[in-house]
């Protein structure tokens, strides 16, 4: 059994997302025809069927739209960290885009660094990037 967390799948459509993340930038794919952002990345715009796309930089601000607190049975590496949180973040500039991640106390903090009872739907969060290039979320500092 491995103690390694599952790495993200880096396919051709999603590759740029991870390349920007490695530079500390949160970008989402948007249609270069009608301008509509979309996630997950895919070749064709579901609104206007254009194949032209761009990667639009986001501020990294958002709100917790939903969350879950996983408990075992889980894969071994995750069970060792449970209970932790998985949040769904609604992006400030693109409210229809919702990214799944973890609410943590800092970019390289463990998955269980924020107690589940501190999480609130609607709370403002800000993206941060760990040394591994993974986007994570912290409470927004005002």
Residue with smaller CB distance to Zn ion, 24 or 35: 35
Residue with smaller CB distance to Zn ion, 35 or 95: 35
If binding is defined by CB under 5 A, does position 52 make contact with Zn ion? no
CA distance 127 to 24: 9
- Is residue 78 within 8 Å of residue 86, measured between CB atoms? no
**What is the per-residue binding string for Zn ion in 11-50, x denoting contact by CB under 5 A?**
--------------------x-xx----------x-xx-x
Minimal distance in Å, beta carbon 57 to Zn ion?
18
DSSP per residue, 19-63 = HHHHTT--EEEEETTT--EESS--SS-TTT----EEEEEP--EEE
- Chain residues binding Zn ion by CB under 5 A are 31, 33-34, 45, 47-48, 50
């Amino acid at each position: 059994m491995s103690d390694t967390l599952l790495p993200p799948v880096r396919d051709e459509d999603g590759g740029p997302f991870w390349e920007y993340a490695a530079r500390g930038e949160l970008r989402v794919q948007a249609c270069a025809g009608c301008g509509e952002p979309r996630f997950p990345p895919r070749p064709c715009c579901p609104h206007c069927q254009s194949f032209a796309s761009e990667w639009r930089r986001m501020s990294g601000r958002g709100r917790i739209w939903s969350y879950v607190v996983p408990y075992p049975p889980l894969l071994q590496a995750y069970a060792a960290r449970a209970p932790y949180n998985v949040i769904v973040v609604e992006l400030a500039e693109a409210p229809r885009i919702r990214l799944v991640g973890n609410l943590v106390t800092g970019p390289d903090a463990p998955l269980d660094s924020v107690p589940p009872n501190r999480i609130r739907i609607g709370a403002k969060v800000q993206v941060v990037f760990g040394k591994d290039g993974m986007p994570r979320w912290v409470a927004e500092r005002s």
